[in-house]
Structure 1
């Protein structure tokens, strides 16, 4: 049986934010949620130690396994873990993690727990070129761990050690309780250091197993906005590599962002500076061109999204083209073999198959049938200042350029609307409907001249 303790009580003053440190986000998910998600499959319970902004932290995390434990005074990592002691079963193995170390991988957690089963105590360490600020792993001549010395308490020789303590460990709960009870504030800060339990375990001849983490980004802590931005990029590159291993073509992983879930078929290509938000599904042979934002949407087979387009909470059919510079707003459903061109905005509308809205148009609250052609500059006037109204354009209709369709209004099947018309009444099937003032020329008119 395994349990976890996640330390998440720190104020995070270096973040310079009213938001609790562990609620800042990487990949649209808060730091603490990343740790919870990586842990949940390996433990029966998760004990989260909270302090500053505890109510907002509790409200943000969705997980049924969590016991929330309040650390009223922040007196060090050892003191924080002590708060969870009443919840620990002696026969369990306790995994200790940190809410501001979001990139820890599930496979690392699993390996750490496996090592702890045989030794009773395992530590996760990493070698850094610049270990400044971190506690050093001190080993004897046989390579066995003897202690962990914090940077502020380390001698000059100890500070030259490059193997550092990540703080992440797995230990049998009976041992943890014993060594927590022996902690003393023997340091410059006057705090109880969790790392001091290592020295106590060594004195008891406990063989502390170590597991060296090969990827330093996996155990990087987040203390300020610079570190947060670095964690975001590490996370995005890791996701990109996973997607590419599954067959997704990403033109430049360093300019790729997925802030949610992404499912894709075969032969999809993602160009630079594309941002995915929420949950998105791509069919086969989908092209997403540069500088697009796709949010909570589904895109069909053989569809191309051209540069600088935004699609949100919408469904795009197969063999359709969107953009460039198109905006597809929520609750839009566009059919197969259709086209939404440059500088077109579609909002809460259905456009069926083989229809075109090629350029410079606004379509809102509309039902558009099959084989409809909407010319340049067409506007569906859906808002009367108080309420929204619907426009219906039936199959085969042709809407001439620079027309305004004043909703509520219906355009009949195979109807034609003459260019430059303002349509306020229903247009019948198979007829030409237009509204224009008679054109006139004033012979004696002269252009004004600047005085």
Structure 2
């Protein structure tokens, strides 16, 4: 009787995230540092999640249980004693006591592995291997473990760099530490690993040695190098950010966006762009941004938690904060900040304005220097500007206040009361002129200046 193929057997994923990350020099757990607006461990969990595993377990250190909040659907287990990576996997055994399937083990500090790579890794045990290890070809000098392949093309052993012979060091096939163990052998192999080494720890790469000693076959799959780099320092965090941004920029362009200067644009992991979007240089997307078709985002703009509808124009030097909703064909111009406000179809906020906790109605025009005074020191209040309204330059709209459809405000006004439809509201002191005052002022100043010298 043949065993079911690897893609039909149940799958459990164990993510190892108990490391202290001392080289990060941070009070934040290493795997909670972010790249492209998402935690390292959140990225590490996103690829296996797309394989729809039957179980997902994350192993964390004492006092680090909050890490599991970044891995939806995961069961968290605590490795109270850090006795090595194999010991960390065994910590998850109780959580998988009733599970009978393949076991995929991943590191929580390796955030860039793609789902296809993990599919290939799992498929590599389909022929009957007990262990499959994900390897990659190193392009530079390295201190990683090597995968040693026998004459038949099977994985013979994993040799750590410090233990490798000169000949073994010549191979550039390196260990990524991502491993799949076949259902029939997983726990027998893991429990047979010993700690007979200088550190007295139980090392996960020893699964190959143990499996071979039991007469079981081992194999490997290959990953692109830029998918499998781990993060142990701020330098490596920045490198991973660079790899991911390159990937996100390429995807944006392949899906129909124009990036004028791609290397200057920074995306969040969840940025969504429509077709025929134009992104000018030096634009930053924070989390939660959705941009529809035919939108132009001009240079030096920052968007976060915002929605921009079809054919709108944003920027340059615009800040869209969470809750900003820019309507079809609307224009948000230079040095405008929008927060928790809807700018409806065809409306214009062209320059030097702050619009917060507000609605700007369809085809309304907001003049330069306008602000919504939405905060009284305790609560936020709403400003409602109707369709076709015209807000004069340097208007202060003191919320809560409403300018009805077609209403006008005179430039320099402080509007504290509602404005009726099609009415003009002006609130400013009457201009007064004192004849000859300027000439007398200059004369007085010049006389004082001469006297002082």
For normalisation by structure 1, the TM-score amounts to 0.88
**What residue in structure 1 maps to residue 304 of structure 2?**
295
Q: Deviations over 1:412-434 (max 9, x none)?
A: 2222345xx43xxxxxxxxxxxx
1:370 correspondence with 2:387: yes
1:274 correspondence with 2:268: no
2:173 pairs, out of 163, 176, 187, with 163
- Aligned-residue offset at 1:56: 2.4
- Aligned-residue offset at 1:277: 2.2
- Aligned-residue offset at 1:370: 2.1
1:221 pairs, out of 230, 237, 243, with 230
Mapped to 2, the partners of 1:159 and 1:179 lie a distance apart of 27
Q: Secondary structure at the match of 1:445?
A: helix
1:339 pairs, out of 327, 333, 348, with 348
1:48 correspondence with 2:48: no
Q: Does the aligned pair in 1 maintain the 2:267–2:286 contact within 8 Å?
A: yes
Q: Does the aligned pair in 2 maintain the 1:284–1:302 contact within 8 Å?
A: yes
**What residue in structure 1 maps to residue 441 of structure 2?**
446
**What residue in structure 2 maps to residue 429 of structure 1?**
none
Map of 1:25-64 to 2, 5 A cutoff? 25-40=34-49, 41-58=51-68, 60-64=69-73
**What residue in structure 1 maps to residue 396 of structure 2?**
379
Task: Sort the Cα spacing of 1:236 and 1:88 in 2 relative to 1 into closer, same or farther, 3 A.
Answer: farther
Mapped to 1, the partners of 2:191 and 2:388 lie a distance apart of 77
**What residue in structure 2 maps to residue 430 of structure 1?**
none
Q: Secondary structure at the match of 2:253?
A: helix
Mapped to 2, the partners of 1:270 and 1:29 lie a distance apart of 22
Q: Secondary structure at the match of 2:207?
A: helix
Mapped to 2, the partners of 1:116 and 1:155 lie a distance apart of 29
Unpaired segments ≥5 residues, structure 2 = 1-9, 374-381
- Aligned-residue offset at 1:26: 1.5
Mapped to 2, the partners of 1:275 and 1:138 lie a distance apart of 44
Map of 1:59-98 to 2, 5 A cutoff? 60-64=69-73, 66-86=74-94, 87-88=96-97, 91-98=100-107
1:436 pairs, out of 403, 424, 430, with 430
- Aligned-residue offset at 1:35: 2.1
Q: How many residue pairs get matched?
A: 424
Q: Secondary structure at the match of 1:69?
A: strand
Q: Deviations over 1:350-387 (max 9, x none)?
A: 1112221131221343211222222222222x2xxxxx
**What residue in structure 1 maps to residue 5 of structure 2?**
none
Mapped to 1, the partners of 2:441 and 2:264 lie a distance apart of 57
Map of 1:271-420 to 2, 5 A cutoff? 271-312=280-321, 313-330=323-340, 332-364=341-373, 365-380=382-397, 382=398, 389-405=399-415, 407=416, 409-418=417-426
Q: Does the aligned pair in 2 maintain the 1:112–1:122 contact within 8 Å?
A: yes
Q: Does the aligned pair in 2 maintain the 1:89–1:173 contact within 8 Å?
A: no
Mapped to 2, the partners of 1:208 and 1:62 lie a distance apart of 30
Mapped to 1, the partners of 2:71 and 2:242 lie a distance apart of 25
Task: Sort the Cα spacing of 1:353 and 1:269 in 2 relative to 1 into closer, same or farther, 3 A.
Answer: same
Q: Does the aligned pair in 2 maintain the 1:42–1:110 contact within 8 Å?
A: no
**CA RMSD across the alignment:** 2.0
Mapped to 2, the partners of 1:142 and 1:440 lie a distance apart of 102
Deviates more, 1:232-241 or 1:318-327: 232-241
Q: Deviations over 1:300-354 (max 9, x none)?
A: 2211112110112121112221111111112x11122221122111111111122
Deviates more, 1:248-257 or 1:293-302: 248-257
**What residue in structure 2 maps to residue 428 of structure 1?**
none
Unpaired segments ≥5 residues, structure 1 = 383-388, 423-434
- Aligned-residue offset at 1:70: 1.6
Q: Does the aligned pair in 1 maintain the 2:41–2:71 contact within 8 Å?
A: no
Map of 1:61-140 to 2, 5 A cutoff? 61-64=70-73, 66-86=74-94, 87-88=96-97, 91-118=100-127, 119-140=129-150
Mapped to 1, the partners of 2:271 and 2:60 lie a distance apart of 32
